[in-house]
Amino acid sequence: MKNNNKGFSILSVIVIIFVVSIVSGITTGIIIKNTYHDELLNDSALNEFLDVYSNVTNNYYEDVNKEEMVNEALNAMLKYLGDNYTTYLNKEETDALEQRLNSTYKGIGITITERKIVGITQGGPAEKSGLKVGDVITKVNDIDVTSFTADQISTLIKASDKKAKITVLRGEEEKDFEIAIETLNNSEIGWALIDDTTIGYISIPIFSRGLSNYVASAIDSLKEQGCDRLIIDLRDDTGGYLDEAHNVASIFLEKGKVIYSLEDKKGKTNYYDETNEKLDIPVVILINENSASASEILAAALKDNYGAILIGTKSYGKGKVQQTYTLQNGTMAKYTSAKWYRPNGTCIDGVGLIPDYIVKMETTYDENGNVTGIKDAQYEKALEVIKTLN
């Protein structure tokens, strides 16, 4: 049986993080104003921790790297809580997380499935160079990619220096494009009106800061082009900012509808859509085993309170919410602060979202186990289903 007597309360653990950050700041010559309440600083657990720190740093027989020792203490403290999502990130890991959520990436601005371009970032290098939705990529820098996965093609493009040579099949004609590798905003999304239809397609790779503004703009543009149905691709979207998931859901839901609920140590709170406008078109959402956290929040909200249809494979099942605290030395403590519940009242943690249509990608191999072809059966099913909706 798991021992639930943790020794420190969650409050104490959080305060330890704050106090240790002060200690760490002092050791590097940084003076920080003490803003913590006296009653917290008088916590006996904190006093014991600081006593040990003081004794060791002053009396250990060799010189002590105080910053590294504090970092190790933080790491051990967060691991002690036994939560997979509560962790200590070093400077490099912190920078990588912040860049992923807030910054940029290098690429050409396309979304592909089964080598077919299904979304193009508006104003990005791919659009400027003349690539179009529906083009099928056959080569990257003269390397045959007909048996490559979408991820492998993406990696090959990003490995290019300043430009990538992209060869595509457009109808019966093969075309070459020299496309600049540019720095793009993480919040920019791939979207397009699918050829010869009134079906819109939006691919959301991550819930980075400002995403909801891009989604709203894409939907407005799609509606101007006659879009009356929409496919949202959340496959391999591992999450991001909770408020961005909330804001994207608000584009669709009517005012007063629950988007999600959070349960922390104080109890359970419902979070509603508070906007006056709503969308009224059929929506199909693509998910897979890597769709997690914020992407699951959006998918669940639109499934439960909008009637969206889910297609793909069972999602990851991350039903917890994290907060972060960045220390003065650039490292970060990331800890779980609440569980979230979908509008129907269930928590998906460790369970995931079950699609209405369970569809797997279809991959073929040769006798040596090498990939010879990939069919995006999930995307094809989404097209099939949404064409039946009015």
Query: What does the pLDDT look like over 293-307, one tens digit per residue?
Result: 999 999 999 999 999
pLDDT of residue 3: 43
Quick count: other Cβ atoms within 10 Å of Cβ 280? Answer: 8
Over residues 84-88, mean pLDDT? 86
Radius of gyration of the chain (CA): 24
Average pLDDT, the chain: 85
pLDDT band at 9 (very low <50, low <70, confident <90, very high): very low
Q: Which of 296, 286, 270, 287 is nearest to 349 (CA)?
A: 296
Residue 371's pLDDT is what?
A: 65
SS3 (DSSP) at 142: coil
- Domains of the chain (ranges plus CATH)? 10-82 (no CATH), 121-184 (2.30.42.10), 186-386 (3.90.226.10)
Contact assessment for residue 253 and residue 200, using Cβ atoms and an 8 Å cutoff: no
225 vs 46, residue with greater confidence: 225
pLDDT score recorded for residue 139: 95
Q: Which of 37-46, 118-127, 331-340, 342-351 has the highest mean pLDDT?
A: 342-351
Q: Higher-confidence residue: 14 or 73?
A: 73
Segment 119-142 mean pLDDT: 89
Residue 41: predicted pLDDT: 66
d(CA 314, CA 289): 6
Q: 32 versus 147: which is more confidently predicted?
A: 147
pLDDT, tens only, 233-289: 999 898 989 999 999 999 999 999 999 999 999 999 999 999 988 999 999 999 999
- The per-residue b/e assignment along 20-55, b for 16 or more CB within 10 angstroms, e otherwise, is bbbbbbebeeeeeeeeeeeeeeebeebeebbeebee
User: How high is the pLDDT of residue 285?
Assistant: 98
